[in-house]
Amino acid sequence: MNKSIVLTGITTTGTPHLGNYAGAIRPAIQASKDGHVWPFYFLADYHALIKCNEPARVKQSSLEIAATWLALGLDTSNAVFYRQSDVPEILELTWMLTCVTAKGLMNRAHAYKAAVAENEEADGSDPDKGITMGLFSYPVLMAADILLFNANKVPVGKDQIQHIEMARDIASRFNHIYGEHFVLPEAVLDDAAATLLGLDGRKMSKSYNNTIPLFEPEKTLRKLINKIKTNSLEPGEPKDTEGCTLFGIYQAFAHHHDVEAIRQRYAQGIGWGEMKQILFEKINEEIAPARERYEALLQAPDHIEQQLQEGAEKARAISRPFIKRLRSAVGISAMATGR
C-alpha cells in the first residue's frame, strides 16, 4: 500500500470551538474522504493529563470531541479513529523512545522553557516549580503517537512544529542504534486553513477564554456572535476588512464570491449589527445539520464507544506486531527455544 499516512491527535481537555473546526477538524474530515491518504485521528487523552487534573473534564471532553468528529461526517471506513489510551503500545514505545532521547533535547522544548521562564519571572527560587515529568517529557509521548504508526504527515498548528522535529530527531537516534524501524514524519502546516480570532479580537483559543464553541444551541451561537468586539464606527462609515474578527470568521465559512460581496459592503459602511446577523446565518447554515447529529450522539455514548473500539482494533492490528518487532530489536523478547 502506498497511501500516505496522515496522523493527528486532539488533546481532550476542552470543547471544540469554531477555530478548531475551521483550522483543523474540517480539513481533516475532508482528508478522511480522500482515497490517497490513510488518516489516523485520535483522542489524545494521555496528553490531557499533562495539563488537566480534573477527571470529569477529561471524560466529558473525550465524549464531546469524539461526538464532534462523528457528527461532522468523519469517514471511519477509511480513517482509523481511536482513543490513545486504548492503544497501550503507545506507552510501551514511549519508554523505548525515552531511553534514546537526550535530556538536552527536552530542555529546549518551548512548552517547558516557557514554564521555566514564568517561574523565573515570578520569584526565581525554583525554576522547575510545578513542572511535572509529564510536561517535561511530553514531546516523547507525542513522538510515540506518531512513530508507532510510521506517519508520513502530521498536520499541526505552528506551536507544534518543534515537536515534529523532535520526533524526527528521536526516530533518527533510534534507527541509528537499532536499525531502520521508523519513518521520519513531516509536519504539515496548512497555510490556507483559517486562524480565527475570538470574542475579544485575540486568536481564538481556550487559553484566552474567548472561544465560540462549535455546537452551542442556535440561540447561544447568536448571542456569542453578538458579543464579538468591534470598533465604534457607525453604519454608513466605511470599514476595514483587514484584521476584522467578523470578516475573518465570515471568510472561513463563505464562498469566495460571497466574501467579495461582503468586502464591498464593508467599503460602503455595513453596520456591525447587520454584519453579525449575516455571519450568524452563514455559520449556522453550515453547522446546523451536524449540530443535530451531535446532540443525538451525546445521547448515545454507547454508539461512540463502539466506534472507538473498532478504531482501536484497527490501530492495534498494526501496533501489536510492530511493538513486537521493536521489543525484539532492543533485546526484549522470549528466550530462544530449541538448542
| Segment interacting with ligand TRP, rule: CB under 6 A, options 154-162, 221-229, 257-265, 293-301 | 154-162
Contact, 141 vs 111, CB < 8 A?
Answer: no
Cα–Cα distance measured from residue 316 to residue 144, given in angstroms and rounded to the nearest whole number: 14
| Segment interacting with ligand TRP, rule: CB under 6 A, options 30-38, 153-161, 308-316, 321-329 | 153-161
Q: Tell me whether residue 184 or residue 233 sits nearer to ligand TRP (CB atom).
A: 184
Q: Does 9 bind ligand TRP (CB under 6 A)?
A: yes
How far is C-alpha 166 from the chain's CA centre? 18
Q: Applying CB under 6 A, what is the total number of residues that bind ligand TRP?
A: 12
Please state the closest distance from residue 186 (CB atom) to ligand TRP, in A: 12
Q: Does 160 bind ligand TRP (CB under 6 A)?
A: yes
Q: Tell me whether residue 166 or residue 283 sits nearer to ligand TRP (CB atom).
A: 166
Please state the closest distance from residue 150 (CB atom) to ligand TRP, in A: 13
Contact, 162 vs 107, CB < 8 A?
Answer: no
Cα–Cα distance measured from residue 241 to residue 284, given in angstroms and rounded to the nearest whole number: 21
The residue whose Cβ lies closest to ligand TRP is: 9
- Quick one: three-class SS letters along 300-324? CHHHHHHHHHHHHHHHHHHHHHHHH
Strands (E), the chain: 4-11, 37-44, 80-83, 153-155, 186-188
Cα–Cα distance measured from residue 255 to residue 219, given in angstroms and rounded to the nearest whole number: 24
Please state the closest distance from residue 146 (CB atom) to ligand TRP, in A: 5
CA distances from 28 to 97, 132, 173, 191, 319 (A): 28, 31, 30, 14, 22
Please state the closest distance from residue 173 (CB atom) to ligand TRP, in A: 18
* Interacting positions 28-87 with ligand TRP (CB under 6 A): 44, 47
Q: Does 145 bind ligand TRP (CB under 6 A)?
A: yes
Q: Tell me whether residue 71 or residue 154 sits nearer to ligand TRP (CB atom).
A: 154
Contact, 140 vs 111, CB < 8 A?
Answer: no
- Sites of contact with ligand TRP (CB under 6 A): 7-9, 11, 44, 47, 142, 145-146, 154, 156, 160
